A and B are shown apart, each in its own frame.
Chain A
């Protein structure tokens, strides 16, 4: 992140969850509906507090479960309201049919998902598996690295979701535990500044909304050609969102003084011959290790995925092209594939990277910590690959048993 200008606003030490709640408040939603779940609960606690004290003038629907939460915000969104919800893991799964319906209806719902392992193995632990389990729902997915980026991305998400040319739901992801409970300094913008940033939406044509008593069909009503038309419009809107997100990042920088680089952030990649590719909170740790290794002369950089859906393959190819080797770090699994999900996706674009070799690292699932030692190990293996040494295609960094003979 580059801080180009100083702002008047105050730094407060808050958690990632509080940053999400404050961002939601600053966006002035009309309707919030949500149900608490670890590690997201604090988001709802904070919003309830803002609502109770009158700081937040919205309809707050404390529903009996996540499925109702998503249905409530979908309806409110289709009626023209600005909406917010938050969930995680089991909660996200429990609202899954409505998550799909929201996408089909092109309702510009904004939510945060606090990443946690999914049902299957019962665990309260961090991991991006819930993100992967919902990645093909047709939502735009953004991923935050630190508490400031949580706040900033929620604000940017409204600009993206409600943009007349986009009209898609946006989910902002951040790591449970490692970010949801992390307390650090966050520059909280003034309400007027946020109002100014979001005011562009008011100048755009109005999207079609439901009115009581008037007949209107919304969502994917169609078969054959009609269905395909809606789907094709949806995927082209997703593709448009890439450039739109870059524009929004620029405008955000002009107003708030912080730019992240849009779809992907490049950290010390210019002269790097090897690169790690990651997303979320792990990127902070990777940057710290890169700084240490740079002092020893290692030419290593980081490419961070900020927009995960649509998959920013053009931006990634541009950033990675010509590197000798790329270590892709996944905090989730692609069941049925050997490598992690982001690795398998990037692999499809390997031929466009001028010979860069790819290797997959799986780490940080089930609350395991992506430590500096682990990052150093991944950098070493990526370096070995660049040097032409024999490196396994996939390594479970914190689970050596997976990497021994016959471990697969």
Chain B
């Protein structure tokens, strides 16, 4: 079974890294992960979309994702943007970085919403509003596809020293503090 995940955020939030860490974590469980971003010119603040395929079989598709079953929204300002929901499959899930569930995120195919204050946690733990590592922890919990262990192991490929330690806490807090709502 393959999960197709689309990530929405802005340059500087670590959208691409989020998708990479998850692909990495899946590979550590003996499953397969493939992710890639699509953007024009690289710049901070510009909308960035990334795609992740996670599966128990090798992933061969090299295309963007048009019918995701999971959405990950790192930028709260995009939580109601129509294009974010494009092609969402029935029974879809969304993981949203927001202070709290504002009860206004709705879509006919969205059945499960998970909210985590990733910016707040990141500010507290690393002093920067970069939500990505909180989001990967929260993703593991929400999706039920990953344990926190492989996520923490994967972080070591992207961070070291004090940064690694702080980001490990971010991921653990994301895993523990994400709140899930059935819609």
Residues in chain A within 8 A of chain B (CB atoms):
11-13, 38, 124, 146, 175, 177-179, 181-185, 281-282, 284-285, 287-288, 367, 369-372
A13 touches B27 (CB 8 A): yes
**Given A124-B41, A183-B36, A184-B33 in contact, is the A13-B23 Cβ separation under 8 Å?**
yes
Chain B: how many interface residues by the 8 Å CB criterion?
Answer: 25
**Given A124-B41, A284-B62 in contact, is the A182-B35 Cβ separation under 8 Å?**
yes
**Which residues does chain B contribute within 8 Å of A281, judged by CB atoms?**
62
A185 touches B62 (CB 8 A): no
A163 to B24, CA, bound (A): 37
A179 to B60, CA, bound (A): 12
Closest B residue to A13 using CB positions? B24
**Which residues does chain B contribute within 8 Å of A287, judged by CB atoms?**
60
A124 to B27, CA, bound (A): 30
B34 touches A288 (CB 8 A): no
Choose among A146, A184, A287 the residue with the greatest number of B CB atoms under 10 Å from its CB: A184
B32 touches A284 (CB 8 A): no
**Which residues does chain A contribute within 8 Å of B40, judged by CB atoms?**
124
Q: Contact partner of A11 among B27, B59, B62, B64, CB < 8 A? A: B27
Q: Contact partner of B27 among A38, A185, A367, CB < 8 A? A: A185
Name the distance in Å between B43's Cβ and chain A's nearest Cβ: 12
A285 touches B63 (CB 8 A): yes
| 19 A-B residue pairings within 8 Å (CB atoms) | A11-B27, A12-B157, A13-B27, A124-B40, A124-B41, A175-B62, A177-B36, A177-B38, A178-B36, A178-B62, A182-B36, A183-B33, A183-B35, A184-B33, A185-B32, A282-B62, A285-B61, A285-B63, A371-B66
Q: Contact partner of B60 among A178, A288, A371, CB < 8 A? A: A288
| 6 nearest CB pairs, A to B | A284-B60, A281-B62, A13-B24, A184-B34, A182-B36, A284-B62
Closest B residue to A281 using CB positions? B62
A185 to B28, CA, bound (A): 10
* Chain B 13-47 near chain A by CB (<8 Å), digits 1 or 0: 00010011001100100001111111011100000
Tell me the residues in window 49-93 of chain B with beta carbons closer than 8 Å to chain A beta carbons. Answer: 59-64, 66
A287 to B57, CA, bound (A): 14
A285 touches B62 (CB 8 A): yes
B64 touches A369 (CB 8 A): yes
**Given A13-B20, A184-B33, A185-B33 in contact, is the A38-B61 Cβ separation under 8 Å?**
no
A369 touches B63 (CB 8 A): yes
**Given A12-B157, A371-B66 in contact, is the A184-B23 Cβ separation under 8 Å?**
yes
Name the distance in Å between A208's Cβ and chain B's nearest Cβ: 42
B63 touches A371 (CB 8 A): yes
Name the distance in Å between A24's Cβ and chain B's nearest Cβ: 20
A288 touches B37 (CB 8 A): no
Closest A residue to B38 using CB positions? A177
A285 to B63, CA, bound (A): 7
Closest A residue to B154 using CB positions? A13
List 20 additional A-B contacts (Cβ < 8 Å) besides A13-B27, A175-B62, A182-B35. A13-B23, A124-B40, A146-B62, A177-B36, A177-B38, A178-B63, A179-B62, A182-B34, A183-B24, A183-B36, A184-B32, A184-B33, A184-B59, A288-B61, A369-B63, A369-B64, A370-B63, A371-B64, A372-B61, A372-B63
**Which residues does chain A contribute within 8 Å of B36, judged by CB atoms?**
177-178, 181-183
**Which residues does chain B contribute within 8 Å of A185, judged by CB atoms?**
27, 32-33
Choose among A178, A181, A370 the residue with the greatest number of B CB atoms under 10 Å from its CB: A181
Name the distance in Å between B46's Cβ and chain A's nearest Cβ: 13
**Given A177-B38, A183-B19, A184-B23 in contact, is the A13-B63 Cβ separation under 8 Å?**
no
**Which residues does chain A contribute within 8 Å of B23, judged by CB atoms?**
13, 183-184
Name the distance in Å between A139's Cβ and chain B's nearest Cβ: 25
Choose among B32, B36, B66 the residue with the greatest number of A CB atoms under 10 Å from its CB: B36
A182 touches B24 (CB 8 A): no
**Which residues does chain A contribute within 8 Å of B27, judged by CB atoms?**
11, 13, 185
**Which residues does chain A contribute within 8 Å of B20, judged by CB atoms?**
13, 183
**Which residues does chain A contribute within 8 Å of B63, judged by CB atoms?**
178, 285, 369-372
**Which residues does chain B contribute within 8 Å of A12, judged by CB atoms?**
157
**Which residues does chain A contribute within 8 Å of B35, judged by CB atoms?**
182-184
A371 to B67, CA, bound (A): 12
Name the distance in Å between B60's Cβ and chain A's nearest Cβ: 4
B33 touches A13 (CB 8 A): yes
**Which residues does chain A contribute within 8 Å of B59, judged by CB atoms?**
184
**Which residues does chain A contribute within 8 Å of B37, judged by CB atoms?**
181
A372 to B66, CA, bound (A): 10
A38 to B61, CA, bound (A): 23
Closest B residue to A39 using CB positions? B42
**Which residues does chain B contribute within 8 Å of A184, judged by CB atoms?**
23, 32-35, 59
A183 to B37, CA, bound (A): 9
Closest B residue to A367 using CB positions? B38
**Which residues does chain A contribute within 8 Å of B61, judged by CB atoms?**
284-285, 288, 372
Name the distance in Å between A94's Cβ and chain B's nearest Cβ: 19
A184 to B23, CA, bound (A): 7
A406 to B165, CA, bound (A): 63
A11 to B31, CA, bound (A): 11
**Which residues does chain B contribute within 8 Å of A282, judged by CB atoms?**
62
A367 to B36, CA, bound (A): 14
Name the distance in Å between A188's Cβ and chain B's nearest Cβ: 12
